[in-house]
């Protein structure tokens, strides 16, 4: 016997993320600019014996790789958007790319620290004029890339007026943005160190600025690992939407108690939830689904109703 397919009223798409074509396009541009500048700074750092410039160039290479990873994440997320193997869509491909980029930032920081300490202990001559010129060019490239990716690190507000940092954030784009900002910061540090060395003989500032840059990159990497890791591990039961769900159930005219609640993110500013309720009233799950529908960020809602029987009301368990 042929199995009857459910009506359209009971089915829906599991593509919860609308994608970000503009971010993909701009990130691709940033990859090209970063890769070109990476080669120039690495060659220049070795040629002119500048640790600050060399560190900037080498860690820019990992940024180029991370930006390329971000582009691939957008491509794969879109390509597999309708693949039935992904129960809640492909958005977490982008989040996974952001997490991987954060790990690359950790490696960058470690490399910068090691090379800077080594150069601090064993200093060498620096060709300041050429190194300063390259560092300025690198800074301009980083500023252009940051402008292309600037929409990735702003905080959004939801439709109900409360601010949830990272609530609607594209973590993949944010990862790309952080990499570019890390580049810009180390370029600034390199310029300061090189100018101080040229005019005041403070050659020791070159490796010291490399150490400072490593510390900055470590802090940014930690923040990105924390935020992307929470999404990947579904550790977001402290988000405002959880409180909103509880409030709607508690203030409903139809009395019910929450026996089970699970909320996790399935897209930028989109959540799925499973709510278990206990009630002694004759009511369908559709009632509470409708009540929760006022929150647009709830893209997938499953309600389970458990009816109290006279035996339960008598206190037996």
Position 311 scores a pLDDT of: 57
Question: Is a pLDDT exceeding 90 seen at residue 262?
Answer: yes
Contact 240, 159 (CB under 8 A): no
Q: How confident is the model at residue 92 (pLDDT cuts 50, 70, 90)?
A: confident
Give the residue among 17, 19, 14 at the shortest CA–CA distance from 85. 14
Query: How does strand 298-307 pair with strand 257-267?
Result: unpaired
Position 146 scores a pLDDT of: 84
Among 220-224, 278-282, 296-300, 313-317, which stretch is predicted with the lowest mean pLDDT?
Answer: 313-317
SS3 of the chain: CCCCCCCHHHCCCCCCCCCCHHHHHHHHHHHHHHHHHHHHHHHHHHHHCCHHHHHHHHHHHHHHHHHHHHHHHHHHHHHCCCCCCCCCCCHHHHHHHHHHHHHHHHHHHHHHHHHHHHHHHCCCCCCHHHHHHHHHHHHHHHHHHHHHCHHHCCCCECCCCCECCCCCCCHHHHHHHHHHHHHHHHHHHHHHHHHHHHHHCCCCHHHHHHHHHHHHHHHHHHHHHHHHHHHHCCCCCCCHHHHHHHHHHHCCCCCCEEEEEEEEEEECCEEEEEEEEEECCCCCHHHHHHHHCCCCCEEEEEEEEEECCHHHHCCCC
Position 263 scores a pLDDT of: 93
What domains can you pick out in the chain, each with its CATH number?
21-154+168-233 (1.20.1510), 240-307 (3.30.70.1350)
263-298, pLDDT tens digit by residue?
998 877 789 899 999 988 888 888 999 999 888 888
Q: How many residues does the chain have?
A: 317
Distance of alpha carbon 165 from the chain centroid:
12
């Amino acid at each position: 016997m042929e199995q009857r397919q459910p009506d359209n009223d009971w089915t829906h798409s599991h593509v919860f993320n609308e994608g970000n074509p503009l971010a993909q396009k701009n990130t691709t541009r940033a990859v090209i600019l970063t890769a070109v500048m990476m080669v120039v700074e690495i060659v220049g750092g070795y040629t002119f014996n500048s640790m600050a410039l060399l560190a900037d160039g080498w860690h820019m290479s990992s940024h180029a790789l991370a930006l390329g990873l971000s582009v691939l994440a957008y491509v794969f997320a879109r390509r597999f958007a309708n693949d039935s193997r992904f129960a809640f869509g492909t958005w977490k491909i982008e989040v996974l790319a952001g997490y991987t980029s954060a790990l690359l930032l950790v490696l960058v920081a470690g490399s910068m620290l090691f090379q800077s300490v080594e150069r601090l202990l064993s200093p060498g001559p620096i060709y300041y004029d050429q190194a300063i010129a390259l560092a300025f060019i690198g800074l301009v490239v980083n500023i252009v890339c940051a402008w292309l990716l600037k929409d990735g690190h702003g905080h959004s507000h939801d439709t109900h007026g409360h601010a949830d940092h990272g609530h609607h954030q594209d973590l993949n784009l944010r990862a790309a943005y952080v990499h570019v900002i890390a580049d810009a910061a180390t370029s600034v540090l390199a310029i300061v160190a090189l100018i101080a060395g040229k005019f005041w003989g403070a050659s020791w500032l070159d490796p010291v600025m490399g150490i400072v840059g490593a510390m900055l990159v470590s802090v940014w990497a930690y923040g990105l690992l924390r935020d992307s890791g929470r999404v990947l591990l579904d550790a977001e039961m402290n988000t405002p939407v959880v409180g909103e769900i509880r409030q709607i159930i508690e203030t409903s005219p139809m009395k019910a108690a929450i026996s089970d609640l699970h909320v996790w993110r399935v897209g930028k500013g989109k959540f799925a939830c499973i709510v278990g309720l206990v009630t002694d009233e004759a009511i369908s799950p559709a009632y509470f689904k409708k009540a929760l529908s006022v929150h647009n960020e709830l893209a997938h809602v499953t309600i389970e109703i458990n009816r109290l029987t006279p035996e339960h009301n008598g206190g037996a368990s």
